[in-house]
Amino acid sequence: MKLNDIRHWTTERISQTILYVLVGISMLVFILFWTVGFNRPYLENTNFNDPLLTNVLIILMWVMFFAAFCITVWSVSSTLKKRGKALRRENGIPVKKISYSIIIGTLILMLLTLAFASTKPMHINGAIYNDALWLRISDMFVNTSIVMIIFAGAAVAYCGWRNRALHRKEEK
Per-residue confidence in pLDDT tens, the chain, 172 aa: 566 677 788 888 888 989 999 999 999 999 999 999 888 888 888 888 888 899 999 999 999 999 999 998 988 788 777 766 566 777 788 887 887 898 899 999 999 999 999 999 988 877 888 999 999 999 999 999 999 999 999 999 999 998 888 888 887 7
Burial 161-170 (b: 16+ CB within 10 A, else e): eeeeeeeeee
Predicted pLDDT at 91: 79
Question: How far apart (Å, rounded) are the C-alpha atoms in residues 106 and 151?
Answer: 11
Q: What is the CA radius of gyration of the chain?
A: 22
Position 26 scores a pLDDT of 94
pLDDT of 69: 92
Task: Identify each DSSP E strand in the chain by its residue range.
Answer: 122-124, 127-129
- Residue 37: how many other CB atoms lie within 10 Å: 14
Residue 49 pairs in a beta bridge with 41
Q: Calculate the CA 30 to chain-centre distance.
A: 18
Q: CB count, 10 Å around CB of 140?
A: 20
pLDDT computed for residue 146 by the predictor: 96
pLDDT of residue 9: 81
